[in-house]
Amino acid sequence: MTTHRPLFAHICLLAGLLITTPQTTHAAQHHAPVGKRGVVAADHVLASQAGLTILKRGGNAVDAACATAFAVGVVNPAGSGIGGGGFMMLHDPKANKRIIIDFRETAPAGASRLMYLKKGLPKHPSRTGGLAVGIPGEVKGCAYAVKRYGKLALAQVLQPAIELARRGFPAGRHFVEGLKRYQKHLSKHKLLKEIFYPGGKPPTLGQMFRRPRLAKTLQAIAKHGPDVFYKGWIAKDIVDAVKAAGGILTHKDLTQYKVAIRHPLKTSFRGHEIYTMPPPSSGGAAIIMALNILRKMKLKTLGHNSSTYLFHLTEALQHAFADRARFMGDHPLTRKLLPKLTSQEYADNLAKRITNKVQSPKAYGSQKRSPKASPRDGGTSHISVIDKDGMAVAMTTTINTGYGSKVIAPRSGIILNNEMDDFSVAPDTPNAYGLIDTRGANAVAPGKRPLSSMTPTIITKEGEPYMVTGSPGGPRIISTVLLTILNVIDWKMDVGESVAASRYHHQWMPDKLRVEPKTSPEVVDALRGMGHEVEVSRREWS
């Protein structure tokens, strides 16, 4: 059996076997290979190979994860790159603890709550152009991780990505289709058009594609370290590009950027310990809330992916996303409320409100109007790694929506993020994914990190890594990781079966249940009969 999902990856350690489902630009096999040095799962086979190369050269899971991330930025520029940021969760087997390295983008010092509501701005200034760019964190995040927890030098970790950018790589299906999809938008920008559409057309499938500017940039970081990115000529290149595109990012913003070290959220589920992301990710809290709501329900009696099963799953997701809109952000209120929101008592009270009928959005949270737009596909990449010593890494990186802000730094070839759109530009105003903030916890503020759905997660059983998981896909990350946990733990699926199973998503607002096209028509009809507005996607989700 094969799958064509290029952007979903997770690793499970089950029954002593290292099981991986790396999704590449080619069809990935649903089987369980055994790794001697370790396994790397990423969204492109060449990125996975970069990580494996580092493991073979004596690196550990942290080295391999960062090498893979740098390579992903070369071969999957729509989703991730050094112009963005992300989260890494590390399982340290010697200390038996989990550590989070937060290298999420942050708002520039000149940012303000109402900055996107000023008159005279272009359409969607938080999504396209210089005002959309947050301070990138990936380079500093990986530099910190490799120095603190890796075995190799940063220069060694960067080498596979440098070679990919310099020598080129065959254009894969996902890369080519993405360029076709974004051609109208990218062609508006001279340098992006020149790089990605030579002769006015995207590369053909299998055509070699080189990124010489980026190769020189990565080589400079390898030689001089992260300071060249945050203080040197690369910093100047980034600041000049953002300024030319109408942005406010300054050299001081870059020099003052810091990674944050955090402790994971934790819950127990069916004999497993689940370690997941705290704020500024909303994903960990949302998944714990949903699991707490579902844990006392007799889900297995309902049948896997039956209409009744999906009805209850959807109810749990709607409660979680409604509370996301009310309480989540890089904000003191969020940190204060987290123990309550992730408690079993709180979930039990929510579960009591679930009936056998579809309820209006007001049953979950107050909202003046429903966003009209359906959530779009996100950029973002997920990487899962485990090495021969049992060190495990779950790492999710992003530049936000496809090709980020559409701003490229001309000398360095860095495509810059549009992470500022992950803030709430105004109360009850949806971002690109239809997500809202009803109380201002995720409002724009200088130095603040925008709320994320990225949810790298590590699950242990009896102290040993059992599952290393995560996903791309904007807010669908949350529903995807939740479904993966339930499929593997509750339904005893192997990884291939879990990846192949249909996926579903409801985020409270818009009030719409989205399903993949492989979903049974009978189930879709039954869900509509229960009162759901069901949108069947035209293609499988990335």
CA distance 482 to 469: 10
Task: Report CA-CA distances (Å) from 15 to 10, 94, 436, 460, 466.
Answer: 16, 21, 42, 13, 9
Q: Tell me which residue of 83, 78, 72, 71 sits closest to 202, measured CA to CA.
A: 78
**Cα–chain-centroid distance for residue 97?**
23
**Contacts for 195-201 with beta carbons within 8 Å, 24 or more apart?**
195/408, 195/413
Neighbours of 329 (CB within 10 A): 25
CA distance 382 to 484: 14
Burial of 245-268, coded b for 16+ CB within 10 Å and e otherwise, reads bebbbbeebbeebebbebebbebe
Backbone angles phi, psi at 510, to 5 degrees: -60, 150
Instruction: Name the amino acid, one letter, at 123.
Output: K
Q: Where are the beta strands (DSSP E) in 167-224?
A: 169-170, 208-209
The answer to whether 438 is a known catalytic residue is no
Task: Report CA-CA distances (Å) from 104 to 8, 115, 116, 272, 533.
Answer: 20, 21, 21, 28, 34
CA distance 526 to 23: 32
Neighbours of 311 (CB within 10 A): 20
CA distance 260 to 85: 12
Structure token pair of residue 252: 């001081």
Q: How far apart are the first and last CA of the chain?
A: 18
Q: Tell me which residue of 59, 55, 145 sits closest to 102, measured CA to CA.
A: 145
Helix/strand/coil for 378: coil
CA distance 525 to 272: 35
Query: What is the arrangement of strands in the sheet containing 17-20, beginning at the earlier edge strand?
Result: 17-20, 11-14, 464-469, 457-461, 272-276, 265-269
Q: Which of 21, 106, 314, 380 is catalytic?
A: 380
Specify the DSSP element, H or E, that contains 348. Answer: helix 344-351
CA distance 450 to 510: 20
CA distance 27 to 173: 10
Residue written as tokens 């009809």? 525
Q: Tell me which residue of 260, 238, 59 sits closest to 140, measured CA to CA.
A: 260
Q: Which residues contact 529 (CB under 8 A, 6 or more apart)?
A: none
Q: Tell me which residue of 397, 426, 446, 442 sits closest to 134, measured CA to CA.
A: 446
CA distance 23 to 251: 37
Q: Annotated catalytic sites, by residue?
A: 380
